[in-house]
Amino acid sequence: MNAVSPTKAGRKEWIGLAVIALPCLLYSLDLTVLNLAVPAMSADLKPSSSQLLWIVDIYGFMVAGSLLIMGTLGDRIGRQKLLLIGAAAFGIASILAAFSNSAAMLIATRALLGVAGATLAPSTLSLIRSMFHDADERTVAIGIWGTSFAAGGAVGPLVGGVLLEYFWWGSVFLVGVPVMVLLLIVGPILLPEYRDPKAGRLDFISAGMSLVAVLPAIYGLKQIAQDGWGWLPALSIVTGLVVGTLFVQRQRTLADPLLDLRLFANRAFSASVVTNTLGVFVAFGGFLYVAQYMQLVLELSPLQAGLWSLPGTLAVVVTSNLAPVIVRRVRPVSLIVLGLLLAGAGYGMLARAGGDSALAIVVIANIVMSAGFGLIFILTADMVVSSAPPERAGAASAISETGSEFGGALGIAILGSIGTAVYRGVMAQALPSGIPHEAAEVARDTIGGAVAAAAQLPGPLGAALLNAAQDAFTQGLHLTAVINVVLMAGAALLAALLLRDVRRDSGIEEQPHPAHPDFIHPDSIHGGVEPVLVPVVVRNEPRA
């Protein structure tokens, strides 16, 4: 029996893709734009140090905690409906955040923004699964989808800088309002509705458990990245792990689970999620150091550092859009392995950064690793969506996004802790004599503290302290870069082994998984699927 060719997308679908890209751009823009507004906002609202931490982090926390719920909810009530509900909530919360008159109000509105933002990534990616049935077209669409995230991360600081130059700090939140109004107007016309016709009731106990599992774990990891190990973040992580284990056990007993564990029976799906998570782990941990190295060691201004980072962002955009073309002739596993090796090569260059050519090395290394990450994230995202049954695309997308959140938090916490340990160990031995006790304590803690302390000391003594701190930080950067080289080499080997049997024309394994005979493969419905790519969204995290 001849396979039926999948339906080609028309003008409506491609215009709909442009509409989908707008909230994705806004999603990543909102992760970065607040950072520039922190000084003016702090002067106005006068938050405590704890409140300031929550203002900055609560958005990411709520996104991470709500992804699984929103992905599954979209499969049940309709992906278009959930996206439009999320857009309306995002617009309202943006207005409330812009006109917040207290730190507590801003924390609450940022939390609402996070919940609304969690509807965007899984809903938009799963809608692409419904709109583009042709494998080649879907890969192109996912590449554009991923590029919108990268663009949002790149333009966020620029947009924020312009707004803050002429308006008050709350104006940075109003950027999203026109976008969401446009989405609410044209979304019902251009975007299809899709829901799982056999979806059961949403298990609210599982929804609550998923929040309790994810939020404490992410909080603990971020606290460790910022302040080092302590009993509170450790307890938070343990709580998250315990509740997460109970959550998984509950899903095994439910007829309509919030997290469909059968998805992991497909090797293409599980291997893609693992590869994506490990890639984000390395990317976030690495980019954290690159940003600080440019400003605190090479002594570039934030604007200069941002401009020198743009070539890396362009590399992500280029590889994200080239991947759909190349993958027509090359197996996806080959491109994923190439991306992992490119990322490793970039970190290999970074491990040798220093001297008069330090800036050139960092910029080139950033371009190479970013190009690799562009391939990794788009292609693994495509595999995640393509290897899941169409009716579970929302849940599959949410699992991938949740893995990314955990990977980023883990990368910052673990790699950040390693780099901090190296810095403090070197500074304990290299601290110049004659430094006042209080300044020495601050300088031994972080390079940011050392830079501030050096500025308050007499010329020669301040210069000696600054040189010692920069050398110590560079040694920490070199070690974490070497670790990332090893991780990327291991990930390349793992991907080559686990994805070796994935067909280019289907994105699934050659043989169905025998333990789950009722698992629906997407190629039995649309005749084949293609792998996709998801861009790196670089967030401004607390310094290590």
SS3 for 483? helix
| Last residue in a domain, options 140, 170, 192 | 192
CA nearest neighbour of 57 among 408, 540, 418, 400: 540
Overall number of domains in the chain: 2
Shared domain check, 485 and 378: yes
In a domain? residue 269: yes
Joined tokens for residue 28:
């990543």
**HSE-CB of 108 using CA atoms within 13 angstroms:** 9
Sign of CA dihedral 76, 78, 81, 87: positive
Shared domain check, 304 and 168: no
Residue type, 408: G
If you search the block for the tokens 């959930």, which residue do you land on?
Answer: 82
Shared domain check, 270 and 188: no
CA angle 476, 479, 483 (to 5 degrees): 135
Shared domain check, 275 and 137: no
- Rounded to an integer, what distance in angstroms lies between the CA atom of residue 288 and that of residue 333? 28
Shared domain check, 269 and 170: no
From first to last of its 544 residues, the chain has per-residue pLDDT tens of 444 556 776 778 888 888 878 777 777 676 666 666 776 787 788 887 667 767 776 777 777 777 777 777 777 777 788 888 988 998 899 999 999 988 889 989 988 988 888 887 677 777 777 777 777 787 788 777 777 776 776 666 667 767 777 788 888 888 878 888 888 888 888 777 776 666 667 777 887 887 888 778 877 876 775 666 788 888 988 998 999 899 888 888 877 777 777 777 777 788 888 888 888 888 877 776 787 788 788 888 766 776 787 788 788 888 887 887 888 788 888 888 999 999 999 999 999 888 888 899 999 998 999 899 888 887 887 787 777 666 666 667 667 777 776 777 677 667 877 887 888 888 888 888 888 888 888 888 778 778 888 888 887 888 888 889 889 999 989 999 999 999 999 989 988 888 776 654 444 333 333 333 333 233 332 333 333 333 333 333 333 3
Joined tokens for residue 54:
């929550």
pLDDT of residue 515: 35
- Rounded to an integer, what distance in angstroms lies between the CA atom of residue 206 and that of residue 259? 9
Shared domain check, 269 and 188: no
Joined tokens for residue 98:
């812009």
Q: How far is CA 254 from the centre of its chain?
A: 30
In a domain? residue 291: yes
| Under 8 Å between Cβ of 50 and 103 | no
CA nearest neighbour of 382 among 154, 191, 192, 134: 134
- Rounded to an integer, what distance in angstroms lies between the CA atom of residue 276 and that of residue 401? 9
Shared domain check, 274 and 181: no
In a domain? residue 434: no
SS3 for 369? helix
| Under 8 Å between Cβ of 267 and 498 | yes
| Last residue in a domain, options 150, 175, 192 | 192
CA nearest neighbour of 349 among 371, 330, 368: 368
Shared domain check, 400 and 277: yes
Count of other CB atoms within 10 angstroms of residue 442: 18
| Last residue in a domain, options 156, 171, 192 | 192
pLDDT of residue 532: 32
| Under 8 Å between Cβ of 235 and 114 | no
Residue type, 145: W
Shared domain check, 172 and 269: no
pLDDT of residue 512: 38
pLDDT of residue 299: 83
If you search the block for the tokens 């550092």, which residue do you land on?
Answer: 305
SS3 for 530? coil
Report the CATH number that the domain containing residue 99 is assigned in CATH.
Answer: 1.20.1250.20
The total number of residues shown for the chain amounts to: 544
| Under 8 Å between Cβ of 127 and 522 | no
In a domain? residue 256: no
Shared domain check, 283 and 160: no
Query: How far are the Cα atoms of 258, 290, 293, 333, 472 from residue 385, in angstroms, in the given order?
Result: 17, 32, 36, 16, 43
- Rounded to an integer, what distance in angstroms lies between the CA atom of residue 526 and that of residue 3? 9
In a domain? residue 164: yes
**Residue 433 DSSP label:** T
Over the Cα atoms of the chain, what is R_g? 23
pLDDT of residue 521: 31
In a domain? residue 219: no
Give the range of the structural domain holding residue 504, as residue numbers without chain letter. 265-412+481-510+529-536
SS3 content of the chain, % helix, strand, coil (to 5): 80, 0, 20
If you search the block for the tokens 């251009």, which residue do you land on?
Answer: 190
- Rounded to an integer, what distance in angstroms lies between the CA atom of residue 395 and that of residue 398? 5
Joined tokens for residue 413:
């916490």
| Element spanning 243, H or E | helix 231-253
In a domain? residue 523: no
Shared domain check, 154 and 70: yes
In a domain? residue 103: yes
- Rounded to an integer, what distance in angstroms lies between the CA atom of residue 506 and that of residue 485? 31
